[in-house]
Structure 1
């Protein structure tokens, strides 16, 4: 009976940690995507400014 309780607890804890890990990875991915998107926008603006000046 105790082994069953520990097995269930282990399963619950594993799922909880996995969910936290995946949520954190998703947040980081969205953050990096936002930075990359911002860089692309700034690069495009710089390219247009150079082309207009030329």
Structure 2
């Protein structure tokens, strides 16, 4: 298992964590939580993509 797997694992865990905080801890709309967690996953992926180039 390489670095890419670790980055993917962190991205998925981060997106699930954002959804959990949004939908269950803050008790906000679950559909909006899915949208926000998807955005978080895209941002995590972009961050790791930029980090990999260095």
TM-score by length of 1: 0.47
Instruction: Give the structure with the higher percent helix.
Output: 1
| Larger RCO, structure (CA 8 Å, separation 6 or more) | 2
- Structure with larger Rg: 1
Q: What is the TM-score of this pair, normalised by structure 2?
A: 0.47
